[in-house]
């Protein structure tokens, strides 16, 4: 799989390590009501969709930036990639 | 139709005209007491034990493709009970004992071969860890032997003992472990279940659940509605997808694992060798092909194929361990989808929906579990209490701080 890195162009996916669903960018508020239950869901439960999936990849053997990659889990087709920082600024990962 | 040496002999004399199909191909009934979703190893074994050991009736297995089209027919066939943690090891040893009597019980040749599994170690720390694991195995009633490098050399002289990074210092050997013919296991359980009256319904995809007032009433399928008293889901890599139809999110990600087989060679490896440090393991099939594999690809996937990077990684592991493998030609590479759980251990439990039960999270190690998983799931379905060896496999264990994390990796499925 080739990941279209927004700064570096097409990079082989083997340069990256994979973390998982980009929903992990939305960390719950530890001080809020019901935080324990929300952290359980955040840490352990996943949508795990068959189809379009937004996910976090770390360019470990490259510029060490975190990307949000949009990929089809059924075909492995990669539909886009953006810097995780910018995805966050745009308001959440979902 | 029973199999025996005598039967094979008489069929040979009659031109093999007397063999019959191993199971019926029934139309689905409007309703059953038990509906098992998924006709892989675990679903078929569950139906078999429900109908025989637990004496239940009106049971159906619904399979979206053909029986054994999933991971049961894609794995590398290793069976073993060499786990460490108390939540796991007694369960896998129970499974090992069931394997030992399986062919007699099913009257079917599943080619169970106790050829031994050897886990190599390369450092003092790893030796200590394996000594501890071996002791845990002995405590559970399993067998374990710690070998030094001379003993390993006597078994497998061709291994690369003096690799600069991973010199072979010894290994943990379980002699009772080995391999079994994966699809033979599916066929044996399917035939046994069918003979006990279970309806095996193929080309029947479950597309939804009928749930009323928090209780499951049946399933919607590509062949119409089928009513059910209890529904047991055992769909391996599709667990997330199927349980989403019941409104549940699981502590599971689906990942792809690849496996490899070479052209047929003369006998060279008579057991199973694992080289964990190099992400490589290998055995030799009875046809002579070297069957090997390594790590999962590591990203969410529902495609039953993987990518080149892992193929290279596995090939490098093989070359590091046994350089002569470079002379063998690769015949096939394939992939299967596995339900990687948050602690690397499975789930056999009720769900918050009454009458709906879940058997999932088997990661890359569910083949060896097939007999015990079927037995324990049937126990749960029939009695509503967990089997003694499967008490730790609860769905809510993460919320209670009771994960069963053999590798100590935390909630990161692609690291288990
Ligand atoms: C490459 C590879 C190597 C492996 N090697 C080993 C090994 O050496 N040792 C070991 O112990 N384990 C191994 N495993 C793991 C093992 O194969 C699995 O954990 C185990 O087979 C899973 O249980 P199962 O047999 O019931 O799954 P499956 O055979 O996958 O059964 C699930 C079934 O559910 C069906 N299904 C899915 N969705 C639906 C639906 N909506 N409706 C109806 N049916 C549905 C599927 O078609 C499938 O037939 C390996 C796995 C892979 C992929």
Closest CA relative to residue B406, chosen from B370, B373, B365: B365
- The pLDDT score that the predictor gives to residue A90 is 78
Q: Which CATH code is given to the segment(s) B5-77+182-250+345-415?
A: 3.50.50.60
Q: Which CATH code is given to the segment(s) B252-341?
A: 3.30.9.10
- Give me the number of domains chain A comprises: 1
CA gap B32, B39 in Å, rounded: 16
Alpha helix positions (H), B146-210: 149-155, 182-195
Under the banding of pLDDT at 50, 70 and 90, the label for residue B347 is: very high
Closest CA relative to residue B366, chosen from B187, B185, B129, B196: B185
Chain A residues whose CB is inside 8 A of the B303 CB are 73-76
Provide the residue count of chain A.
94
Q: Which two tokens stand for residue B260?
A: 């490899």
CA gap B364, B89 in Å, rounded: 16
Kindly report the number of other CB atoms within 10 A of residue A30's CB atom: 9
Give the nearest ligand 1 atom to B62 CA: 43
Give the tens place of pLDDT for each residue, A47-62. Answer: 999 999 999 999 999 9
Q: Is the pLDDT of residue B367 over 50?
A: yes
Beta-carbon separation of B249 and A43 below 8 A: no
Beta-carbon separation of A48 and B309 below 8 A: no
Q: Which two tokens stand for residue B17?
A: 């005209």
ipTM of the complex: 0.95
Beta-carbon separation of B398 and A43 below 8 A: yes
Give the tens place of pLDDT for each residue, A1-34. Answer: 999 999 999 999 999 999 999 999 999 999 999 9
Strand partners, B146: B172
- The pLDDT score that the predictor gives to residue B138 is 98
Beta-carbon separation of A73 and B302 below 8 A: yes
The enclosing H or E element of B48 equals helix B41-51
Beta-carbon separation of A46 and B251 below 8 A: yes
Under the banding of pLDDT at 50, 70 and 90, the label for residue A89 is: confident
Give the tens place of pLDDT for each residue, B184-234. Answer: 999 999 999 999 999 999 999 999 999 999 999 999 999 999 999 999 999
| B303 CB-near residues (< 8 Å, 6+ apart) | A73, A74, A75, A76, B256, B335, B337
Ligand 1 mean position, distance from CA B71 (Å): 3
| B57 CB-near residues (< 8 Å, 6+ apart) | B33, B51, B197
pTM of the entire predicted model: 0.96
Ligand 1 mean position, distance from CA B370 (Å): 10
Domain at A81, CATH number? 3.30.2270.10
Give the tens place of pLDDT for each residue, B293-312. Answer: 999 999 999 999 999 999 99
Closest CA of chain B from A50, distance in Å: 6
- The pLDDT score that the predictor gives to residue B114 is 98
- Domain spans in chain B, listed from the N-terminal domain onward: 5-77+182-250+345-415, 252-341
A14, closest residue in chain B (CA to CA): B309
Chain A residues whose CB is inside 8 A of the B402 CB are none
Q: Which of B250, B298, B412 sits opposite A45 (nearest CB)?
A: B250
Boundaries of domain holding A75: 2-90
Closest CA of chain A from B95, distance in Å: 28
Mean pLDDT, chain B, integer = 97
- The pLDDT score that the predictor gives to residue A94 is 47
- The pLDDT score that the predictor gives to residue A91 is 64
Provide the residue count of chain B.
416
Closest CA relative to residue B326, chosen from B158, B99, B83, B112: B158
Q: Tell me the Cα Rg of chain B.
A: 21
Closest CA of chain B from A22, distance in Å: 12
């Amino acid at each position: 799989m080739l990941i279209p890195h927004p700064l570096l162009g097409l990079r082989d996916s083997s340069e990256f390590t994979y973390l998982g669903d980009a929903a992990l960018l939305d960390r719950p508020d530890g001080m809020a009501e019901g935080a324990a239950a929300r952290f359980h869901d955040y840490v352990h439960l996943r949508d795990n969709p068959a189809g379009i999936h937004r996910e976090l990849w770390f360019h470990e053997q490259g510029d060490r930036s975190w990307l949000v990659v949009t990929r089809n889990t059924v075909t492995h087709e990669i539909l886009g990639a953006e810097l995780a920082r910018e995805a966050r600024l745009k308001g959440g990962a979902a | 139709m029973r199999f025996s040496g005598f039967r094979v002999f008489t069929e040979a004399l009659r031109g093999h005209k007397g063999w019959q199909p191993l199971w019926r191909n029934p139309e689905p009934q409007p309703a059953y007491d038990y509906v098992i979703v998924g006709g892989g190893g675990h679903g078929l074994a569950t139906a078999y034990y429900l109908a025989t050991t637990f004496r239940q009736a009106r049971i159906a297995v619904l399979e979206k493709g053909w029986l054994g089209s999933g991971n049961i027919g894609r794995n590398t066939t290793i069976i073993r009970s060499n786990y460490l943690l108390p939540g796991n090891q007694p369960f896998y040893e129970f499974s090992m004992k069931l394997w030992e009597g399986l062919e007699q019980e099913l009257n079917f040749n599943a080619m169970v071969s106790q050829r031994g599994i050897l886990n190599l170690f390369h450092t003092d720390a790893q030796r200590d860890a394996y000594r501890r694991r071996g002791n845990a195995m002995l405590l559970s009633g399993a067998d374990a032997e710690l070998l030094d490098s001379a003993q390993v050399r006597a078994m497998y002289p061709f291994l690369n003992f003096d690799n600069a990074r991973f010199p072979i210092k010894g290994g943990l050997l379980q002699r009772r472990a080995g391999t079994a013919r994966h699809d033979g296991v599916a066929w044996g359980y399917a035939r046994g279940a069918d003979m006990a009256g279970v309806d095996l319904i193929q080309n029947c995809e479950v597309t939804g659940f009928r749930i009323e007032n928090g209780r499951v009433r049946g399933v919607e399928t590509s062949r119409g509605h089928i009513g059910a008293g209890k529904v047991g889901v055992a769909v391996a890599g599709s667990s997330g997808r199927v349980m989403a139809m019941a409104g549940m999110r699981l502590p599971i990600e689906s990942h792809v694992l690849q496996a490899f087989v070479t052209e047929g060679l003369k006998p060279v490896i008579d057991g199973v060798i694992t080289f964990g440090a190099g992400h490589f393991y290998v055995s030799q099939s009875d046809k002579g092909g070297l069957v090997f594999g390594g790590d999962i690809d590591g990203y969410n996937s529902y495609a039953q194929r993987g990518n080149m990077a892992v193929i290279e990684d596995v090939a490098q592991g093989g070359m590091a361990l046994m350089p002569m493998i470079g002379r063998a030609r690769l015949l096939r590479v394939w992939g299967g989808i596995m339900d990687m759980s948050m602690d690397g251990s499975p789930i056999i439990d009720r769900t918050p929906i009454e009458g709906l039960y879940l058997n999932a999270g088997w990661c890359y190690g569910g083949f060896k579990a097939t007999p015990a998983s079927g037995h324990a799931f049937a126990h749960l379905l029939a009695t509503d209490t967990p089997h003694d060896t499967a008490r730790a496999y609860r769905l809510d264990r993460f919320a209670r701080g009771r994960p069963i994390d053999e590798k100590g990796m935390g909630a990161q499925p692609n690291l288990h």
